[in-house]
A and B are shown apart, each in its own frame.
Chain A
């Protein structure tokens, strides 16, 4: 795997601004000339220009389909004045020196927009200085393009590669000027993704494709409940099977690693493992959870909703307006699995005091830390190689599958590739949580709310880190509920304690999904009760001067207005088209969506057109933004129509794509995307599309069928 970056290379532009929003160039100005001779040019961790005429740029974020590899190197390439064709992408190993590598929260561009452009600009400036010496001219007489410095006055030029000896002597600039967006050649313009040719010819190495010499294969039979332990097992039949080498217990690893109790089969092929796991007779103990079912959990939610124990927002006073009406609605959303196309997998090679691991991980630093903790070795002795991810959606930010491979390799004293079966993936997920919400409002004579009470109850993600956590955290409620954008005199947002029957994790857009679902469906019902167009209804409630928890209402308003014309809303309403609308701000981006359906019942329903408008501030690759919105729309359709995880006797019922269903080719609608070029700080892209589309679907279905669906999914 070509993901080496040599640590002994001179690195004279030290970068120390990793975890701050600002950028700090630590300059080692005392580096002597002798140190720099005959080396490649690697002025910082992210860039290496070689004598072999390659320009290598590090991508420290994990690629799971969001186009981050091309995007990350675009930031450096733009300011460095090299073309994307000239760049080789090097995938970073897990190491804190790169700064945050946790590829979640739609942060890759948000956190690196300034930082990586500055790195590119610094390096370019150094080539300008080197070239001014080369031509004996002023720096101001030079410009760069495609890795060449031009001295236009004399019609002369020199390539970066021919300046490597000179540039090695140049000091790192203290401050650099970044390009204005008018001068961008790469950023803001659609680019071909660099990884596509390999992906479609079978050359891309996903976690599932890693081969290490002498490796054994492993697969696990897991306890049906994450809360159980192994009592006993009989693997005599499995052991007789050809290819099976060993069968042993893997014990639970507690928070924050969260490995379930299991029995591990080691064999000489993946399939031999799969087959052998089916022949093990195991006795598990999870008595404390065996009474839990979908129905019993629903009862727990109902009870919790009646008894709010924590209030996160309580602002404004009781309105003096006369209350003309009230409305109360309750919304339910089930547990969901991520189900990325590539099942979980990792290859680990544990030695006596070190470990190398290859994994499709979203969070290589967390995995590295977890491996060090489990093996009780120093973090420097753990090497985490990040492969391509066959989808992630939040599931692959957990270290559990990597740790299982480590434990298997430790036991076998050989490299082990541990492969999850799809059934394991569906049944042993860190699920998107299941929520019950209630919104109640008092309405004035115009039908606008003067009070708003939103109760949102769900098992909290905090259980990943702290066993027994039972109250949703403020950041979970802050994903769509406590940052309600609407101007209402009295707002209360509360939650309650509830025990967690499963493992909970974050899934693409997280709590924004169910909060946006409830709020947008509720707003749609309020609007239609008041006989006000749902666009107008929202606009009446949005004070354009207000900013709520970093979200500027004026940007949301622009997105809504743009969608209204982009989707031809008014024309379609006049034509009595079955069209629904929703809007939601999340991950520092603003999204609005309309969905148009045909049919008059759930049985003959067809989603025909989806329009999405997004304002995500500055963006790297508009084609990638569109792709993410298209993907979000399909993801949202699967959530609305099919996705759910049920519980029976403490265990998950669903197991594979026949009962955990998702949208397929024949249901794919026309998806139209428009991007507002607001030139604000970059927002997220991978996640914010999902929350707006789900309720837009439900609101369209109301138009078609007259039924207000308050529970998801619709078809399962």
Chain B
């Protein structure tokens, strides 16, 4: 049994220790918001937060998660930064197929947490690990810029 904190709740799973966290989330815990894209940490569709920082769950073995805190898309829906981004994502019709968007949002949420006023080039480099085959990059970047600006005004 491996125990960890998932979206602020303690969970325990009985799986092979080399199983990537992605498949524990998806197949065992039935949380489908974290997506499978490449299985090699190359595309970012499986991005989740480990102790608040974005990691690729498709190459992160469950054994390394023991007693750590994991946050998935399902766990950040109430997060202030996520909600700022969510508003812009909806307003700008950001997603096309939408499949990569959970990963994009997990990376973007972590970016805003560490840098509440990123420049366009900071956004581009922070997001470079998240591929979108539909090509929604421009809208994602504008949405992050606007979410950050809106955040400033509220403060």
Contacts and interface: CB of A to CB of B under 8 A. Distances in A.
In order of increasing CB-CB distance, the 7 nearest A-B pairs are A202-B33, A634-B135, A390-B99, A65-B97, A65-B96, A199-B98, A668-B137
B23 A195 contact: no
Contacts of A657: 38, 40, 42-43, 131
B101 A199 contact: yes
Of listed A63, A200, A272, A658, residue having the most chain B CB within 10 A: A200
14 contacts: A67-B93, A193-B95, A200-B86, A200-B95, A270-B36, A627-B96, A634-B134, A656-B42, A658-B40, A658-B42, A662-B131, A662-B133, A665-B137, A668-B137
Given A269-B28, A339-B133, A632-B135, A623 B93 contact: yes
A426 to B, nearest CB: 10
Interface string A384-407: 000011111100000000000000
Nearest to B85: A200
A627 B135 CA distance: 9
A337 to B, nearest CB: 11
A341 interface: yes
Contacts of A666: 124-125, 127-128
B145 interface: no
Interface of A: 63-67, 192-193, 195-197, 199-206, 208-209, 211, 217, 242-243, 269-272, 274-275, 339-343, 388-393, 419, 421-422, 623-624, 627, 630-635, 656-658, 662-666, 668-671
B49 interface: no
A388 B105 CA distance: 19
A397 to B, nearest CB: 15
Nearest to B100: A341
A619 B70 CA distance: 44
B144 to A, nearest CB: 10
B149 interface: no
A169 B122 CA distance: 63
Interface string B61-91: 0000000000011100100000000100111
Contacts of B117: none
B138 A630 contact: yes
Contacts of A632: 135
Given A656-B38, A657-B38, A341 B138 contact: no
Contacts, number: 182
A196 B93 contact: yes
A271 B20 contact: yes
A630 B100 contact: no
Main DSSP-derived SS at the B contact region: loop
Nearest to A206: B99
A479 B16 CA distance: 52
Given A271-B27, A657-B40, 9 more contacts: A65-B134, A192-B91, A196-B95, A342-B36, A388-B97, A391-B134, A634-B137, A664-B137, A665-B127
Contacts of B35: 206, 208, 341-342, 390
B39 A421 contact: yes
A211 B30 contact: yes
A630 B141 contact: no
B115 to A, nearest CB: 15
A631 B96 contact: yes
Contacts of B94: 196, 200
B10 interface: no
B32 to A, nearest CB: 4
Contacts of B105: 200
B113 interface: no
A630 B139 contact: yes
Nearest to B127: A665
B135 to A, nearest CB: 3
B98 A195 contact: yes
B128 A343 contact: no
A664 B128 CA distance: 6
B26 interface: yes
B56 to A, nearest CB: 12
B45 interface: yes
Contacts of A670: 138
Contacts of B101: 199-200
B90 A196 contact: yes
Given A202-B33, A341-B35, A663-B135, A668 B141 contact: yes
B104 to A, nearest CB: 9
Nearest to A610: B138
Given A196-B98, A200-B98, A665 B134 contact: no
Interface string B113-155: 0000000000111011111111111111100000000000000
Contacts of B45: 341
B51 to A, nearest CB: 21
B97 A340 contact: yes
B106 to A, nearest CB: 10
B44 to A, nearest CB: 9
Nearest to B97: A65
A388 B101 CA distance: 14
